[in-house]
Amino acid sequence: MNKIKVLQVVPALTHGGISSVVMNWYRQLDKRQYQFDFISFNDGPLHPEITAMGGRVWLIPTLKQQPFLHLKAVIKLLSAAPRYQVVHVHNSFKNVVLLWLAKCFGVKVRVCHSHTSGLENSRLRPVIGLLKSLTTAASNVHLACGQAAGLFLYGGKPFTVINNAICLEKFAVSSGHKQPHQHLPSNKTLLLQVGRFSKVKNHQFLLQLAKQPSLADDIHFVCVGEGPLKAQFCQQITRLNLQSRFTVLPATAAIANLLQSVDGFIMPSLFEGVSVALLEAQAAALPCLIADTISTESDMGLGIVSRHGLDDLASWLTTLNNLPQVQVSQAQIHAAYAERGYTTDSVLRQLIAFYQLEEPS
């Protein structure tokens, strides 16, 4: 039987976010039946694992960075034999041209997958309606990580939610005690924030919290990730003399270990679809403080997520200073994720059904 060749288009090959979701699929799929190749605009530590599993990686510039080289690379890939049966684009309207090229080259299954519920680049606001319409027209499978992300991109048009499933066993709490970590202080109450250093993740809010005199002395924020605003954030920590409040770490595959080493999870994002990092934190049975701008679909109903307004510092400070103790069992966690369809098996069944369509509507 011939393999189904799928071209996945992702922003980067780093741990976390969209890349982690796609890699969770690929690790579980039957490699005799499916091959994932990747277009990515940034290299990263997932590259060797992809090639070890038989996939290929094409690192190309974005359309915005180098239009001619981008178009040349995409046309070469889509015209080469054997052709891709599926193109699965994860940064949606940012790759509308790529989707139209896939349509022109006769790719049967053209998947547009929305992972965000808001617009990060305000300069696109005047044309976002047109971009959404063109993206929807170029694709014939419309997916989203949650209802909010789907409504943002597709509006009133039909779409299917594919949940961001995670491997629960990886994040299961190994003991009732916090595990020491070589890079983290042992005498602090540690709050973990995982995410790209970009405007939407709102690291500036953590600086606001850290400056408040009423914040308990032992509260310490652990920020993990990469991104364009990381250097600026580190400089601000030093300038504000807040070194005792922060540890900044690089992106890592060992998020599960970090989750075992902290006391809570914090996410003040300006907006999120269904956050993989938040799903992982709940799987690790941590109290989670999140902004009320984040989709409620990310809450697994375990009673460990508290939502706070970004204009209400007092609410965040009260919860940080009185961090709740979580009392949930692994059985409760498994049941909650299974009930909401966040297990890998259920997601793969959905995905395969789309990939095998001969003539999607």
Range 14-38 average pLDDT: 91
Residue 331 is assigned to a structural domain of this protein: yes
Q: How confident is the model at residue 361 (pLDDT cuts 50, 70, 90)?
A: very low
More confident residue, 361 or 189: 189
Range 221-235 average pLDDT: 96
Mean pLDDT is lowest, of 29-43, 209-223, 227-241, 335-349, for 335-349
Residue 37 is assigned to a structural domain of this protein: yes
Mean pLDDT is lowest, of 243-247, 276-280, 355-359, for 355-359
Indicate if 262 and 157 belong to the same structural domain.
no
Residue 360 is assigned to a structural domain of this protein: no
pLDDT per residue over 83-142, tens digit each?
A: 999 999 998 888 999 999 999 999 999 999 999 888 877 777 888 899 999 999 999 999
- Residue 187 above 60 pLDDT? yes
Looking at residue 108, its pLDDT comes to 94
What CATH number has the domain bearing residue 72? 3.40.50.2000
Residue 361 is assigned to a structural domain of this protein: no
φ and ψ at residue 339, rounded to 5 degrees:
-60, -35
Mean pLDDT of the chain: 92
Indicate if 19 and 72 belong to the same structural domain.
yes
Q: How confident is the model at residue 341 (pLDDT cuts 50, 70, 90)?
A: confident
Looking at residue 219, its pLDDT comes to 98
* Contact in structure between 215 and 321 (CB atoms under 8 Å): yes
DSSP line for 62-113: -TTT-HHHHHHHHHHHHHSSSPPSEEEESSGGGGHHHHHHHHHTT-SEEEEE
- Residue 358 above 60 pLDDT? no
Q: How confident is the model at residue 360 (pLDDT cuts 50, 70, 90)?
A: very low
Indicate if 157 and 211 belong to the same structural domain.
no
Residue 15 is assigned to a structural domain of this protein: yes
pLDDT per residue over 274-306, tens digit each?
A: 899 999 999 999 999 999 999 898 999 999 999
Q: What is the pTM of this model?
A: 0.81
Mean pLDDT is lowest, of 25-39, 50-64, 121-135, 257-271, for 121-135
Indicate if 181 and 309 belong to the same structural domain.
yes
Which residues are paired to 39 by β-bridges? 9, 58
Indicate if 172 and 190 belong to the same structural domain.
yes
More confident residue, 274 or 204: 204
- Residue 17 above 70 pLDDT? yes
Alpha helices in 199-307 (DSSP H): 203-210, 230-239, 255-259, 276-283
- Residue 37 above 70 pLDDT? yes
Looking at residue 176, its pLDDT comes to 62
Domain residue limits at 130: 4-165+343-355
Indicate if 185 and 267 belong to the same structural domain.
yes
Residue 280 is assigned to a structural domain of this protein: yes
Indicate if 102 and 177 belong to the same structural domain.
no
Indicate if 159 and 305 belong to the same structural domain.
no
The SS3 assignment for 115 reads coil
Indicate if 205 and 70 belong to the same structural domain.
no
Q: Which DSSP letter does residue 334 get?
A: H
Indicate if 278 and 350 belong to the same structural domain.
no
Which residues are paired to 222 by β-bridges? 192, 247
**Total tally of structural domains belonging to the chain:** 2
Indicate if 215 and 304 belong to the same structural domain.
yes
Mean pLDDT is lowest, of 35-39, 81-85, 171-175, 322-326, for 171-175
Give dist(CA 115, CA 214) in Å, integer: 36
Give dist(CA 1, CA 50) in Å, integer: 22
Residue 265 is assigned to a structural domain of this protein: yes
Looking at residue 345, its pLDDT comes to 80
Give dist(CA 269, CA 204) in Å, integer: 10
The residue assigned the tokens 């989709």 is 295
Indicate if 151 and 186 belong to the same structural domain.
no
Looking at residue 208, its pLDDT comes to 98
Residue 279 is assigned to a structural domain of this protein: yes
